[in-house]
Amino acid sequence: MICVVAARGTLRQGPPLRWGDAYTTHSMFANHLGLNPVLSLYNAAKTTFSDHRDNVWKATLPSNEAQQITRDLLLTASDQLIDADSAAIRRINLATAETQLKVRNVVVILMESFAGRYVGALGSKDQITPEFDKLSKEGLLFTRFFANGTHIHQGMFASMACFPNLPAFEYLMQSPEGGNQFSGLPQLLSARDFQDAYVYNGDFAWDNQQGFFSNQGMTHFVGRNDYVNPVVSDPTWGVSDQDMFDRSIIELNQLKGDKPFYALLQTLSNHTPYALPNVLPTTAVTGHGSLDLHLTAMRYSDWALGEFFKKAKQQPWYNDTLFVVLGDHGFAAPEPMTEMDLYRFHVPMLMIAPGIQQLFGTENSTVASQVDMVPTIMGRLGDDVQHQCWGRDVLTLPKDDPGFAVIKPSGSDQTVALIKNERIVIKPKDMDARVWTYQLGVNPHSAPARPDTDDAQFLQQLNAYIQTATASLLDNTAGALASPGE
């Protein structure tokens, strides 16, 4: 019995101690002291020398050329490149007064499996997301927005750390490179002395969430074991979305009113095994076969989101806050969208704040992805900002810039793709690229594309972007500030 307890490392129900349980301080050295040294050495060697590392993107261009193509793709007229000899895209983005909002706080709501295919505001007739659809009328909805990956942890680091999902690094938060500094919301807003909160239904040891985000600058975490008398409590998975959102109101109200804050609120109920209340506050979904339970959970998450906003609107900080609601990834529908199946990537992003519709309208159809979220948020807050995000402020792009998104599925599938306009260039590993056209919304369809003169340039941009991002990750030069190695 003693050996069993020692092997598990904990008396709690659910999973044994994980890597993330050791990450309790701001010191990476101290955190590593809490790990099993033999097992950690073994895992590091396995990660470094495994066959999966053979999937690291092979350079197809001279590094200087790839870097310049990437800079041309990402840098805008408002960007001043710095540290050009050591960092690929580190720059200072100059604030544009006429595109700023009168807000001081930021709340990011990352919705589990919130697939754009089933969102009414994006064209679905299935009535799965009535609350989100109502909220979309109050803010700015991005209609061609994509997750960078197809797993929750990829949605987390792409959105909050502003770094793309790369071949061989799909599990970045659990790999040695996950200890690098990035250029996401925690780094940029912690430097401005913002308070922070990360409220989640589940266990932060999953995917090393607390370890990763505490290293990036977050300090206040509320997870599965911090809830009292939740409506739903699954010993392995966690509490319900309504529990998470109710606790979020409490946590945000406890922050000091004289300092701005940012928060990440992350849902979980729309993930197998769908830990839902015994008595649902919504009608169960029928008529979709094997997707009925999944869509029922999505409808429940949507209801919980609506309840959160009803309560948030009564709080003193509501009118001072920029809310960003987005999906972490989508999921497959019965009818695939291109051979890449864009339904697994297409998600909504909705920004709600006072005055946002007056400045930017109600919809934005620029192609964008999760790595564009942070620079788009920072552009609304004012002041110049030094960063190295692998996306752009979508709301200050020239009118003739269609935007772009680089996507990759989770796991062993090493296919990558670049989306621009209504075309997607798909590049499987060790195979020729293929191009499709697509249309989302009320009348979705896709088909293999006829050759176009832009396709070769799109493929070159895809290769350059992934090659340059991979080099930055391996060299630990992807941070907002220079790393010691530089």
pLDDT digits (tens, 9 = 90+) for 393-416: 999 999 999 999 999 998 788 999
Q: How confident is the model at residue 482, as a pLDDT?
A: 86
Q: How confident is the model at residue 122, as a pLDDT?
A: 98
**C-beta separation of 482 from 87 below 8 A:** yes
Q: How confident is the model at residue 248, as a pLDDT?
A: 98
Q: How far is CA 14 from CA 112, 282, 342, 345, in A?
A: 21, 29, 34, 30
Q: How confident is the model at residue 357, as a pLDDT?
A: 98
Q: Token pair 């895809």 is at which residue?
A: 462
Domain locations along the chain:
1-37, 93-405
**C-beta separation of 207 from 178 below 8 A:** no
Q: How far is CA 78 from CA 390, 392, 393, 396, in A?
A: 15, 10, 10, 9
CB atoms within 10 A of CB 326: 21
**C-beta separation of 427 from 367 below 8 A:** no
**Whole-model pTM?**
0.92
Q: How confident is the model at residue 206, as a pLDDT?
A: 86
**C-beta separation of 330 from 314 below 8 A:** no
Ranges of beta strands (E only) in 90-152 are 91-93, 105-111, 140-146
For residue 160, which phi and psi values (nearest 5 degrees)? -90, -30
Q: Which element (helix H / strand E) includes 425?
A: strand 423-427
Average pLDDT of every residue of the chain: 91
CB atoms within 10 A of CB 278: 6
Give yes or no for residue 54 having a pLDDT over 80.
no
Q: What is the mean pLDDT of residues 95-121?
A: 97
Q: What is the mean pLDDT of residues 79-95?
A: 97
Residues in the chain: 486
Give yes or no for residue 36 having a pLDDT over 70.
no
Strand order in the sheet with 445-448: 405-407, 416-420, 423-427, 434-439, 445-448
Q: What is the pLDDT of residues 463-486, one digit of tens each?
A: 999 999 999 999 999 999 887 767
Measured between alpha carbons, how far apart are the two ends of the chain, in Å? 50
CATH topology classification for 93-405: Alkaline Phosphatase, subunit A (3.40.720)
Angle in degrees, CA 318, 322, 323, rounded to 5: 85
